[in-house]
Chain A
């Protein structure tokens, strides 16, 4: 090692844990209409998510959770392994600036990948998981174009989930993958599925296609 080796910021966490990373960004709608039942279920779902991942020691080292809420857009949690992730208590208020949330989220993913590359950390294709119960109240066209580009270049996988009265037509225009509608308020089932899917991905080889379980929480 050269005496004056440059150590970039962030090298510590990768020196501490050099396992390949499987980043998962949650984009969660916290607009006013989510207040009450939906937000409570969502909060419990997040706790379930953390608890389930904790059962899988390999996932605890490989999965990284990022969390951005919108209404207003807030970075709640930058990418961290689940042991560092404290499930927040979200509140529903504000409008639905989905476009800004997606733009910010995609930038986070881009920067995280840069950090992986700079530190020689292998990574799986990032997952972006957006949950909303409404329609964007801001400009979302640009964000939608970015999502399409990213999916085309296999830069990430973008999943959209509509809750209750979500505008599925707009979600279809944003996500390349068919958006799914949450059956009732089955956030618990959704996060169980998400954690077990991430567990399977993190156990697979980087770049391998992993068959996912059917999402039992979605309705057609």
Chain B
């Protein structure tokens, strides 16, 4: 006697293999999540490094008496031009707090060749910081200007 019945056919191996597939999908999504988070951190770090680089560039290449943190290079009044990489001690000493794109300058220091390091500006550092240096001329001698930039 043939019977037709409607319903669900349940098999254990099908259930196990389906669960395994869902587990794989979960692992894949978790991996993508971790990779995405790491990329976000990398991107933020790249932004920090880039801002530090451009800020340090601005300090040594520009002369800005109103905002010395954006330009501390000496200005030759006779020739009416900025002397790139030659720092003005007066402007350097007037550097105050500077914030840009969620980053702030934590410290600026100067170390002359054969001399000791002198801190020009200092502030408590943030959670994530980067530091880089540029080569300048300070009072006629070659020096290294180190800039530390931190995330707010």
Partners in one complex: no
- By a beta-carbon cutoff of 8 Å, the part of chain B in contact with chain A is none
Contact surface of A with B, Cβ cutoff 8 Å: none
